[in-house]
Chains A and B, each alone.
Chain A
Amino acid sequence: MSRIVNTLRSLSGLLFSVSLTLLGLIAVTFFIGRVVPIDPVLAVVGDRASADIVEQMRVEMGLHLPLYQQFWDYLGQVLRGDFGNSVLTANPVSEDIRRLFPATLELATAATLIGVVLGVPMGVAAAVWRGRWPDHVIRVVGLVGYSVPVFWLALVGLFVFYAQLDLVPGPGRIDIYFEETVPFVSGVILLDSLLAGNREVFWNALSHLLLPASILGYFALAYIARTTRGFMIEQLGEEYIVTARAKGMSPARVVWGHALGNIRVQLITVIALAYAGLLEGSVLTETVFSWPGLGRYITSSLLNADMNAVLGGTLVVGVVFVGVNLLTDLLYRFLDPRVR
């Protein structure tokens, strides 16, 4: 009985802190949006509108009301699931996000997969051969990954693999002639094209995903490999490892079974953070690859003072971040006996 009460209590506590976080996020974004020295009416009616139109729009947008009332009205709107309309796209913000977020999700997931599949073994290898050539090679690879700006890597990647070697197609999620040929179901083109049974589009989309996902994946890989290496070195110096080795256990089992097993919780935190970071949408990569994702959406909205879109987008990023963190927390419960 008391266990149920405890679970409920921790659950409500969790809900409370999550909603407080999101409320804070809305408030901060909202007020920043009102403080920036850009007239939001300008974004809607343009530079040439007459004074009458400007005034009319100001009233229509509720900008003549006191700030706290504007915020209160907006909050009510959001709670009803209405983020308002975007000026830039002429669509409801929720519809835009519904369409753009899957693009970011697709890219971020592929990049994280690449980062994990390559980054973890590389980190392990570097730790195992610490100070020897594999370690040096991996550290240099990592150093390049997290010190070179990712958009520059993206441009160079395009130049080498697209322009020179002709290995991958150019920017965009699919070839432009395939646009509007697959019905929108999930928004993840790889999935939608399979659902529609259109293999041509599937392969086209996959080939378009390869380069941007590899570039972002490299970025994630560098981060993951570096932290994995650090964690592993620490573990490999522990006494239980020495014991295991002394007992004659195979080196592979010591490394992969014992040491890696013990850093899985830390590792998941790192991976989750990297994933959440990528899910925000990496603006520059999305720009270079003309990838219609969330990062580009929020940035271009911000530059145009399209505050409904900025607020809606930021809130979604916030929810995603909190969501990924919650998921990680849940995973801990399975992986870490001490939390159970």
Chain B
Amino acid sequence: MTRLAARLLLVCAGISLVFSAFPATSRAATPDDVLVMAKRIDDIISLDPAQVFEFTGAEVIANIYDRLVTFDVNDASRLEGGAAQSWKISPDGKTYRFTMRPDMRFASGNPVTADDAAWSLQRVIRLGLSPAFILAQFGLTAENVEKRIRAEDAMTLVIELERAYAPSFLLYCLTAGVGSVLDRELVLAHEKDGDLGHEWLKQASAGSGPFSLIRWRANQYVILEGDSGYWRGAPAMHRVILQHIAEPATQRLMLEKGDIDVARDLSPDQVGGLAGLSDMRILHAPKGTLMYLGLNQKNPILAHPKVRKAFKLLVDYRGIGDNILRGRGRVHQAIIPKGLFGALTETPYRFNPERARKLLREAGYESGFAVTMDASHGSIITEVAQALQSDFAAVGIEAEIIPGDEKQVLTKYRARNHDIFIGEWGVDYQDPHSNADAYASNPDNSDDARFRTLAWRNAWAIPRLSELTASAILMRDQDERAELYNEIQRRVLAVSPFVVMFQSVDLIVERSYVSGLVWGPSFDSNFYRGAVKRPHSREK
């Protein structure tokens, strides 16, 4: 028996020996010319600019493609030239003439021409995928797009519209992913069955931007390579890698070990633990996503104007912001997020249960009522929902939280089967119409309506406000247009069934040897080109 014990001991010793033999091969910091970011990237379903509509995908293509028009990341109300250097608008406001930037080249070496730009825009309409509406809303269809968007010569792109829209409206729409200029020749070389190269481009790149795609592996990584000939100047990083690390705790470990340079999905707790460390830099980047409650007007109680108002007074904006969001959101109550032109930053509502109670009494619900609240589980939304639940309970409103998977909750919301929906909504493009059209437009409130905006989802019938919103895209003077959006926001703030609470803020932690990354005001204005790593001075 003792021999057996001795043998067992030997086995154990052997194993620990194997363990201790490894450290020599296991340690390596990230190379100086490679930037590694940990991020959840499981939202990417395609990297074709005509299809991309997800946060991560939008960020990636913003670093691969030049768009016709861009905006100043420090002041989004200032438009700048991208692939188009300048533009002129005809006196009747219907024809836009863009002059392309000279001497630009795609990563393939092909020159960037107006022809490429025209074809790229036409392609978005012809494919008709999720983000196509951003261009289609200008009356563009597969039938007319080739006539309306065309290259006059190699350097001049002409867009001719039916109506005289607000110039800022069209230009901001061209700053979206659908405004990316694609390498026509390269994409068409990969066309299959008339798909305009769509299948191929889902996992490839054909742009003139600072980076090219080496590989996207779903749920694993995106590897980008810098283009040395980029017109604004070559990126310092040879490669930028987005590594899919789903677990925030793991992201933090890897950041501390120096296996990654930037962590994108840390929780406030984890970030708090890193505060004050000299080798970490904590950044807050406000994004165009709003967290809000949608009160379904099909529910007669929630349809009472005083009840709607009461809900706006029952949110402990500051308490939730300080205790739950902790840096991941800031109080914002209007429907257009800060960072877009025309945004209203007033926050007239404060947590006031006494006034809410009074309003409920006047509405005839002195003793409260019961409602359900749909919230997707496993996210910050659930925590906010729980906080709201207890605040509501103080005035007798019994809110039952129905947790569900995000897609499940959305399916129910889209079918107008909810009482209260709590969730988030991000702007689709950097123009105020994006959100005004969602929250303040509902031309047809019937169940089989064609346009199913957020107002429709909450059965909020607003024929007059819808008209006002529609008129704002035709207002050619930009200041007057901004004023009109302020007006729309104030109305929504006063009477709508929407309780907009917070604008999301991205929490980003960089190792302090990294600098030059740009975290812009929208999810597709995070730019990697300027990223630099200070070599040799690393702590480890």
Contacts and interface: CB of A to CB of B under 8 A. Distances in A.
Interface of A: 36-39, 42-43, 45-53, 86-91, 96, 118, 121-122, 125, 128-129, 134, 155, 158-159, 162-163, 166-172, 175-177, 179-180, 203-204, 207, 210, 251-252, 255, 287-288, 290, 292, 296-297, 300, 303-305
A157 B6 CA distance: 28
A170 B253 contact: yes
A290 B38 CA distance: 11
B245 A163 contact: no
Given A177-B34, A296-B219, A167 B26 contact: yes
Contact of B259 (A125, A170, A203, A303): A170
B53 interface: yes
B25 to A, nearest CB: 5
A129 B130 contact: no
A252 B3 contact: yes
9 contacts: A89-B218, A90-B218, A128-B4, A155-B250, A170-B257, A171-B254, A290-B246, A292-B220, A303-B406
Contacts of B53: 46, 48
B382 to A, nearest CB: 15
Contacts of B3: 252
Interface in B412-433: 412, 414, 428
Given A167-B26, A171-B250, A176-B243, A47 B257 contact: no
Contact of B36 (A129, A176, A204, A207): A176
Contacts of B25: 203-204, 207
A169 B26 contact: yes
Nearest to A202: B25
A287 B130 contact: no
Contacts, number: 156
Nearest to B243: A176
Contact of B22 (A51, A53, A207, A296): A207
A86 B42 CA distance: 13
B223 A42 contact: no
Contacts of A121: 8, 11
A176 B249 CA distance: 18
Contacts of A179: 215, 217, 220-221, 223
Contact of A177 (B15, B31, B450, B451): B31
A290 B214 contact: no
Interface of B: 1, 3-5, 8, 11, 15, 19-20, 22-23, 25-28, 30-31, 34, 36, 42, 45-46, 53-54, 128-131, 133, 202-203, 214-215, 217-221, 223, 241, 243-247, 249-250, 253-254, 256-257, 259, 404-408, 410-412, 414, 428, 449-452
A32 to B, nearest CB: 14
A121 B254 CA distance: 36
Given A37-B408, A176-B221, A300-B219, A129 B452 contact: no
Contacts of B428: 48
B219 A42 contact: no
B136 to A, nearest CB: 8
A247 B20 CA distance: 45
The 5 closest A-B CB pairs, nearest first, are A89-B218, A169-B26, A90-B202, A39-B411, A207-B26
Contact of B5 (A45, A134, A176, A304): A134
Max count, chain A CB within 10 A of own CB: residue among B4, B19, B405: B4
A159 B223 CA distance: 27
B245 A290 contact: yes
Given A46-B53, A170-B254, A171-B250, 4 more contacts: A46-B130, A48-B133, A90-B202, A167-B19
A126 to B, nearest CB: 11
B452 to A, nearest CB: 6
A252 B46 CA distance: 62
Contact of A297 (B23, B46, B219, B405): B219
A248 to B, nearest CB: 16
B130 A49 contact: yes
Nearest to A158: B253
Nearest to A251: B1
A163 B245 CA distance: 16
Given A155-B249, A171-B254, A292-B219, A118 B410 contact: no
A47 to B, nearest CB: 6
Nearest to B252: A163
A303 B405 contact: yes
A300 B42 CA distance: 8
A175 B30 CA distance: 9
Nearest to A50: B133
Contacts of B128: 53
Contacts of B254: 170-171
A88 B130 CA distance: 15
